[in-house]
């Protein structure tokens, strides 16, 4: 019988193999990632295919590392059989934050692409691409309150931090001194950026004015309410508005001397922003809750698990249309100090 000559198997000669080559982006640039451009394309990384001298199924690994780390601990961005990959600003920023990269400051990174044939063949690599990148954080920047109307005076190193509610809205529940003044800063120890007012509002509501740098005019301070008290101050820095309303925290229930009379609940003392306290007699095997507006059943704070008399989590009821939270169960009678933290939504009870 006659024989047919078979094609020879491909022979890999690494001396003849060609590395992949970056075609975009170009190195040396600086990219500042911005949250308001999260859905935009950050970059398209593309490269020419590696050539092993024959047709092969090749995987490409795009990786990055700090420039001074020499890829000792690279971040793997993608594994693909394609020769390009695109990422949005949000996708790339998330990769950086998840890898522990500090936001808000520039970092010099190096990028490379490795081509992989199989575990028995040495990887081919592109040249290294260097790019400076500034990631952003999705956490709201801090905002602080200070002034002679506040507990810290005008000491900008001791200004009181507010809570971010998201979308540029900040809030604080704290005491204000009647007839005095206050402002807001974003950096402890610095007078700019700063928020004051245009002077056309009232103590209850008005417009904010941003002083972005100390080279800009100093805006007017906000005037405090006419009388000393506990107030909820809310700022919307996106729309540049503020609102102020009197508030407080009161305890009531059959465990207390007030009973369930929501017109005459027991007032609690503010000991620090958002933290209220009272020392009072509590009856055995009875219950209590907290309200902020005497005569109304909401806003209200109850418990998540009402059976723990010593400590637990609080549950907020904004309106009477919301579900009624469980009351806190006081099991043993005695003189108790109750502390309610409305910032962290917790309560603690100690027996005197």
pLDDT computed for residue 238 by the predictor: 87
Q: Tell me: the pLDDT tens digits for 54-85?
A: 777 899 999 999 999 989 989 999 999 999 99
Q: Tell me: the pLDDT tens digits for 157-198?
A: 999 999 988 878 999 999 999 999 999 999 999 999 999 999
Q: Tell me: the pLDDT tens digits for 78-137?
A: 999 999 999 999 999 989 988 888 888 999 999 999 998 887 788 899 999 999 999 988
Residue 2 pLDDT greater than 60, yes or no: no
pLDDT computed for residue 13 by the predictor: 56
pLDDT computed for residue 27 by the predictor: 79
Q: Which of these, 247, 345, 255, lies nearest to 302 by C-alpha position?
A: 345
22-134 CATH: 2.60.40
Q: Which sign does the torsion angle of CA 20, 25, 30, 33 carry?
A: negative
Percent of the chain with pLDDT strictly greater than 90: 75
CA gyration radius, the chain:
31
For the segment 296-315, the average pLDDT, to the nearest whole number, is 90
Over the chain, what is the mean pLDDT? 91
**Architecture per CATH, 250-351:** Sandwich (2.60)
Spatial distance between the Cα atoms of 230 and 223, rounded to a whole number of angstroms: 15
For the segment 215-229, the average pLDDT, to the nearest whole number, is 96
pLDDT computed for residue 313 by the predictor: 95
For the segment 193-210, the average pLDDT, to the nearest whole number, is 96
Q: Is the pTM of this model over 0.75?
A: no
Decide: 144 and 195 in contact? Cβ < 8 Å: no
Query: How confident is residue 17, by pLDDT bands cut at 50, 70 and 90?
Result: confident
Residue recorded with tokens 């793997």: 76
Decide: 311 and 348 in contact? Cβ < 8 Å: yes
Spatial distance between the Cα atoms of 34 and 133, rounded to a whole number of angstroms: 11
CATH 2.60.40.3620 range(s) for the chain read 144-246, 250-351
CATH 2.60.40.3620 fits 144-246, yes or no: yes
């Amino acid at each position: 019988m006659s024989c047919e000559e078979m094609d020879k198997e491909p022979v890999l000669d690494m001396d003849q193999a060609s590395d992949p080559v970056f075609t975009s982006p170009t190195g040396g640039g600086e990219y500042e990632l911005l949250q308001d451009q999260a859905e935009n394309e950050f970059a398209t990384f593309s490269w020419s295919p590696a050539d092993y001298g024959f047709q092969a199924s090749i995987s490409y690994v795009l990786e990055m590392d700090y420039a001074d780390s020499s890829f000792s601990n690279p971040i793997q961005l993608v594994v693909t059989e394609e020769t390009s990959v695109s990422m949005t600003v949000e996708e790339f920023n998330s990769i950086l934050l998840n890898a522990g990269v500090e936001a808000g400051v520039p970092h010099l990174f190096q990028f490379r692409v490795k081509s992989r044939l199989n575990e028995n063949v040495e990887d081919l690599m592109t040249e290294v691409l260097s790019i400076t990148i500034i990631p952003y954080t999705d956490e709201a920047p801090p905002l602080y309150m200070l002034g002679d109307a506040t507990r810290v005076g005008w000491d900008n190193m001791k200004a009181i931090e507010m809570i971010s509610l998201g979308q540029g809205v900040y809030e604080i529940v704290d005491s204000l001194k009647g007839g005095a003044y206050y402002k807001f800063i974003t950096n402890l120890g610095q007078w700019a950026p700063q928020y004051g007012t245009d002077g056309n509002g009232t103590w209850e509501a008005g417009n904010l004015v941003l002083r972005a740098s100390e080279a800009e005019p100093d805006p007017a301070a906000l005037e405090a309410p006419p009388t000393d008290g506990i107030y909820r101050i809310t700022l919307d820095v996106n729309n540049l508005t503020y609102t102020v309303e009197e508030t407080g925290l009161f305890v009531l229930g059959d465990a207390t001397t007030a009973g369930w009379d929501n017109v005459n609940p027991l007032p609690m003392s503010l000991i620090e922003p958002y933290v209220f306290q009272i020392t009072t007699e509590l009856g055995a095997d009875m219950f209590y809750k907290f309200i902020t507006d005497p005569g109304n059943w909401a806003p209200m704070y109850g418990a998540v698990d009402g059976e723990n008399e010593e400590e637990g989590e609080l549950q907020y009821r904004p309106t009477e249309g919301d579900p009624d939270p469980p009351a806190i169960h006081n099991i043993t009678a005695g003189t108790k100090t109750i502390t309610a933290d409305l910032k962290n939504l917790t309560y603690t009870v100690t027996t005197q």
